[in-house]
């Protein structure tokens, strides 16, 4: 800029020197004027002028003035105009001020935020306005949008004068429709097929109107995933040489091509351990999966290092670090892996601190913590404690950290930092079936109830549940309460009160009612195992039975009582109470009725569920649930009450069938009337389900159900009923989880229909 100003000054000097004849003599300067100022102060300009009124006119002084004015940085052009007036010369400095961008407006951008658009521009607010940069700015925005998959974007730039030397720039963007990825192909891949490589990518091809979204950041991640995967096949020097993204002629589609250089295969020649004192080499090498002579597996080497590190931390070496050092022998195409270990010091727990819990009492949280002050630090118990805290659903987030005391080299404080979430659930559902008619259910569950904390009633870790089911034929009411640590003792205590009435329709038209209650006592046996005992008292009443009703049903007439005890064992390793992705849950129960009352029977029931994540991101989850049971009378009883028998069919068992529609049935009258489910002594229900998490709020399901109910004398696996179906679940803001399944019976009886929808929803608060 200085060179340009100096050149202009010399030019002006020559022009001034060859000006009016009077200028060649000893003429004085008559007046000094400044023309063209809008924003710049005239006082500032005059303070830089050497030429003053009354001085002898000097062209060199004029050129020096022009140079100094350029150096101010406010002007794009300066000209000196000299006019004779009598015996004097009037001098006018004609200036053109730089235009400054006062405001930059972005209009029409919906897919890309203002911040990202502005970062692509070079002209910012406060910068000089340069009209020649229009095209460059416009092209920068077009390149930005094209890189995001918008090939049909147009950009118009409008400059408006909004004040003295002040301009406003408006970028009007018409984004157009985003192009969809029509194909993803690879060049140079021999070891891994294109199909396998595409599976590694989160970027997918469009399928009809679904998928095909192009995101630059996601593609970069995908390319790194591809290279990492090649490392698992010993291709440690694999490289992506380039990627081509070609748009179709109409700009609505794009074809992605990835060019690969796979490189040579490397094998692991030697595996070493360094820096270990606490454990011998053999002990550590037994924990790793890779072995000399195998193809080098990059991911497994890293997982082995993580395993060793966790082993040390589980043994109290909190600061232990294991770093795998990989050395390549490019000539022999072999690798040497050395796990360098920094063991650190053995640490003991000095204090366990809990922060962030504004509602939940400390003692409620400490019940879930498997670590104890004074004991050696154990990383596995830390993770177990966090998982147990998450399963309570009191907290949205559970974090942990360690605080090393400066004056206590052998001790550390363990800090649990929690973010409390919703403290209850409100679940509801509705449906219609020929068995129960139109009805709905609701459940109010307070997961962190505190009966002594009036008026908030939260923070004590107790559970209070109120269930209500009202329909054309069935009305159900129940109240449940559980205190996981009664009166400070490590025993859980609870009770249930219930009333269930059912109006049987059809030609029989009678009613059944169950009412009563139960007391529960539980004990935690280990980190995963619990035991519960239950004492139940129930009154069964059947009324309004027609005289000619089937004897199987009529023998239930009148009122009878059941007094039973139940023992239950539960082993639960699920990683989450709701929506788990790993672990299992097994519940084994044995109930014995006959400690009083009218009914004598025993019931054995096993309910097992497994969850397994099929990918690292835990988006694909496979689950399997199996339920088996057997019930039989003994002593003076010659039958098991219908209310205590097993049933299958419906939302909770075999979807696609009506509620209780699978299993033994009897005509309501001996020789005529509609068939009525009477339950069975044996039940076996299986559910296999595959879930895919599209987002954190949206999931899709596919499932296969199989189930059967039999009496002792007609047990036959050939009578199993099967169904298959699909479902969708979503987390609706301010409403909660909603799931809709549709099941298709695969081998139904003639009266079991062709399919059924099942709905369940809930609200968290």
* Same domain for 433 and 400: no
pLDDT at position 487, please?
75
Are the beta carbons of 448 and 460 closer than 8 angstroms?
A: yes
Vertex 738, ends 736 and 741: CA angle to 5°? 165
Position with higher pLDDT, 663 vs 74? 663
* Same domain for 295 and 209: no
Percentage of the chain beyond pLDDT 90 is: 38
Grade residue 24 by pLDDT with cuts at 50, 70 and 90: very low
Residues whose CB falls within 8 Å of the CB of residue 589, separated by 6 or more in sequence, listed in order: 566, 567, 568, 569, 603, 604, 605, 606
Q: Within 10 A of 717 (CB to CB), how many other CB atoms are there?
A: 9
pLDDT reading at 431 higher than 70: no
Are the beta carbons of 76 and 142 closer than 8 angstroms?
A: no
Are the beta carbons of 475 and 498 closer than 8 angstroms?
A: no
pLDDT 10s digits, 259-300? 999 999 999 999 999 999 999 999 999 999 998 899 999 999
Are the beta carbons of 520 and 531 closer than 8 angstroms?
A: no
Of 22-26, 315-319, 488-492, 701-705, which gets the smallest average pLDDT?
Answer: 22-26
pLDDT at position 437, please?
53
From residue 713, alpha-carbon distances to 641, 671, 710, 716 in Å are: 17, 22, 8, 9
pLDDT at position 302, please?
94
- Measured distance CA(756)–CA(650) in Å, rounded: 9
* Same domain for 483 and 555: yes
Of 201-205, 229-233, 552-556, which gets the smallest average pLDDT?
Answer: 552-556
pLDDT at position 706, please?
96
Of 5-9, 50-54, 535-539, 643-647, which gets the smallest average pLDDT?
Answer: 5-9
Backbone angles phi, psi at 531, to 5 degrees: -125, 140
* Same domain for 459 and 486: yes
pLDDT 10s digits, 69-126? 888 878 888 888 888 888 888 889 988 888 888 888 889 888 888 888 888 888 888 7
- Positions of E strands within 556-613: 558-572, 583-597, 601-613
**Taking the chain, what is the end-to-end CA distance rounded to the nearest angstrom?**
66
Among 148-152, 407-411, 433-437, 605-609, name the most confident range: 605-609
Q: Pairing relation of β-strands 75-85 and 100-107?
A: unpaired
Q: Structure tokens of 272?
A: 């070493």
CATH number at residue 435: 2.40.160.50
Grade residue 440 by pLDDT with cuts at 50, 70 and 90: low
Number of residues written out for the chain: 765
Structural domain count, the chain: 6
Of 299, 323, 342, the residue at which a domain comes to its end is: 342
* Same domain for 186 and 86: no
Give me the chain's average pLDDT, please. 85
* Same domain for 636 and 500: yes
* Same domain for 736 and 600: yes
Are the beta carbons of 503 and 468 closer than 8 angstroms?
A: no
- The model's pTM: 0.63
Burial class (CB in 10 A: 0-12, 13-18, 19+), 239: middle
Of 174, 197, 222, the residue at which a domain comes to its end is: 174
Q: What is the mean pLDDT of residues 512-528?
A: 90
Q: What is the mean pLDDT of residues 179-204?
A: 90
pLDDT at position 760, please?
75
Q: Pairing relation of β-strands 411-420 and 395-404?
A: antiparallel
Instruction: Transcribe 222-240 into DSSP letters.
Output: HHHHHHHHHHTTT-TT-EE
* Same domain for 722 and 673: yes
Of 73-87, 143-157, 236-250, 427-441, which gets the smallest average pLDDT?
Answer: 427-441
Domain interval for residue 129: 100-174
DSSP-derived letter for residue 24 is G
- Positions of E strands within 139-296: 154-163, 166-174, 180-187, 239-247, 253-261, 267-274
Percentage of the chain beyond pLDDT 70 is: 90
Q: Within 10 A of 10 (CB to CB), how many other CB atoms are there?
A: 13
Grade residue 400 by pLDDT with cuts at 50, 70 and 90: very high
Grade residue 435 by pLDDT with cuts at 50, 70 and 90: very low
Q: What is the mean pLDDT of residues 33-49?
A: 84
* Same domain for 160 and 122: yes
pLDDT at position 177, please?
77
Of 117-131, 456-470, 487-501, 624-638, which gets the smallest average pLDDT?
Answer: 117-131
- Measured distance CA(444)–CA(428) in Å, rounded: 9
pLDDT at position 728, please?
94
Among 131-140, 249-258, 701-710, name the most confident range: 701-710
Q: Containing H/E element for 317?
A: none
Of 342, 374, 392, the residue at which a domain comes to its end is: 342
* Same domain for 30 and 56: yes
* Same domain for 686 and 633: yes
CATH number at residue 145: 3.10.20.310
pLDDT reading at 597 higher than 60: yes
pLDDT reading at 750 higher than 80: no
pLDDT at position 325, please?
94
Q: Structure tokens of 627?
A: 């339920």
pLDDT at position 433, please?
46
pLDDT at position 7, please?
44
Q: What is the mean pLDDT of residues 306-335?
A: 92
Residues whose CB falls within 8 Å of the CB of residue 315, separated by 6 or more in sequence, listed in order: 278, 346, 376, 378
DSSP H stretches of helix in 315-427: 362-366, 379-391
pLDDT reading at 303 higher than 90: yes
* Same domain for 388 and 295: no
pLDDT reading at 15 higher than 70: no
Q: What is the mean pLDDT of residues 627-645?
A: 91
pLDDT at position 511, please?
78
Position with higher pLDDT, 37 vs 15? 37
pLDDT 10s digits, 158-191? 888 887 778 888 889 988 777 788 899 999 999 9
Contacts 24+ apart (CB under 8 A), 483-490: 483/451, 484/367, 484/522, 485/363, 485/367, 485/461, 490/523, 490/524
Grade residue 14 by pLDDT with cuts at 50, 70 and 90: very low
Q: What is the mean pLDDT of residues 645-650?
A: 92
């Amino acid at each position: 800029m200085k060179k340009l100003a100096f050149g202009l000054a010399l030019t002006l000097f020559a022009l001034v020197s060859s000006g009016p004849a009077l200028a060649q003599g000893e003429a004085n300067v008559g007046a000094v004027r400044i023309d063209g100022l809008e924003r710049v102060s005239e006082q500032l300009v005059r303070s830089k002028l050497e030429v003053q009124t009354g001085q002898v006119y000097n062209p060199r002084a004029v050129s020096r003035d022009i140079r100094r004015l350029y150096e101010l940085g406010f002007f794009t052009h300066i000209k000196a105009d000299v006019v004779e007036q009598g015996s004097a010369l009037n001098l006018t400095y004609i200036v053109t001020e730089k235009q400054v961008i006062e405001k930059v407006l972005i209009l029409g951008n919906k897919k890309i935020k203002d911040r990202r658009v502005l970062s692509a521009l070079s002209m910012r607010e406060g910068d000089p306005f340069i009209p020649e940069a229009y095209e460059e700015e416009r092209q920068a925005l077009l390149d930005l949008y094209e890189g995001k998959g918008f090939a049909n974007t147009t950009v118009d730039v409008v400059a408006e004068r909004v004040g003295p030397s002040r301009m406003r720039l408006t970028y009007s963007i018409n984004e157009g429709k985003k192009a969809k990825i029509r194909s993803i192909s690879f060049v140079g891949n021999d070891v891994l097929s294109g199909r396998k490589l595409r599976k590694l990518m989160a970027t997918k091809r469009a399928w009809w109107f679904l998928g095909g979204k192009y995101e630059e950041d996601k593609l970069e991640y995908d390319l790194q995933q591809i290279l990492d995967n090649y490392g698992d096949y010993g291709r440690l020097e694999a490289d992506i040489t380039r990627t081509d993204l070609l748009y179709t002629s109409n700009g609505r589609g794009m074809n992605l091509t990835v060019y690969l250089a796979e490189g040579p295969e490397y094998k692991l020649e030697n595996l070493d351990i360094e820096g270990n004192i606490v454990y011998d080499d053999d002990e550590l090498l037994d924990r790793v999966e890779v072995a000399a002579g195998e193809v080098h597996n990059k991911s497994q080497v890293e997982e082995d290092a993580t395993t060793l590190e966790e082993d040390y931390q589980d043994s109290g070496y909190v600061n232990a670090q294991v770093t795998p050092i990989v050395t390549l022998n490019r000539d022999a195409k072999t690798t040497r892996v050395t796990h360098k270990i920094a063991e650190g010091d053995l640490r003991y727990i000095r204090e366990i601190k809990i922060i962030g819990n504004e509602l939940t009492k400390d003692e409620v949280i400490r019940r879930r913590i498997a670590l104890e002050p004074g004991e050696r630090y154990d990383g596995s118990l830390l993770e177990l404690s966090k998982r147990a805290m998450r399963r309570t659903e009191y907290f949205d987030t559970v974090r942990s950290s360690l605080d090393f005391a400066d004056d206590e080299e052998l001790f550390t404080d363990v800090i649990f930092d929690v973010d409390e979430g919703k403290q209850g659930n409100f679940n509801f559902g509705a449906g219609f079936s020929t068995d129960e008619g139109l009805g709905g259910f609701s459940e109010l569950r307070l997961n962190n109830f505190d009966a002594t904390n009036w008026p908030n009633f939260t923070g004590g870790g107790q559970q209070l549940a109120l269930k209500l089911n009202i329909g054309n034929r069935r009305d159900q009411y129940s109240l449940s309460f559980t205190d996981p640590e009664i009166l400070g003792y490590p025993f859980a205590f609870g009770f249930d009160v219930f009333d269930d009435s059912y109006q049987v329709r059809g030609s029989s038209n009678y009613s059944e009612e169950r009412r009563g209650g139960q007391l529960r006592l539980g004990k935690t046996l280990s980190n995963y195992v619990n035991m519960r005992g239950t004492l139940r008292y129930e009154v069964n009443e059947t009324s309004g039975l027609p005289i000619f009703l089937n004897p199987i049903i009529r023998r239930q007439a009148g009122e009878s009582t059941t007094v039973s005890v139940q023992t239950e064992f539960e082993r639960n390793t699920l990683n989450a109470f709701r929506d788990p992705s790993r672990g299992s849950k097994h519940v084994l129960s044995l109930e014995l009725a006959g400690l009083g009352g009218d009914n004598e029977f025993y019931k054995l029931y096993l309910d097992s569920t497994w969850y397994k994540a099929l990918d690292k991101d835990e988006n694909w989850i496979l689950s399997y649930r199996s339920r088996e049971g057997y019930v039989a009378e003994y002593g003076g009883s010659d039958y098991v009450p219908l209310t205590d028998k097993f049933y299958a069919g419906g939302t909770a068992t075999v979807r696609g069938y009506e509620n209780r529609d699978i299993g033994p049935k009897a005509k309501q009258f001996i020789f005529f009337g509609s068939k009525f489910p009477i339950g069975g002594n044996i039940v076996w229900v299986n559910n296999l389900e595959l879930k895919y998490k599209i987002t954190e709020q949206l999931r899709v399901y596919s499932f296969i159900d199989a189930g059967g109910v039999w009496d002792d004398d007609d047990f036959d696996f050939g009578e199993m009923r099967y169904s298959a179906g699909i479902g969708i679940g979503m987390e609706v803001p301010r409403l909660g989880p909603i799931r809709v399944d549709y099941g298709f019976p695969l081998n139904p009886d003639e009266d079991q229909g062709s399919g059924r929808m099942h709905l369940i929803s809930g609200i968290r608060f």
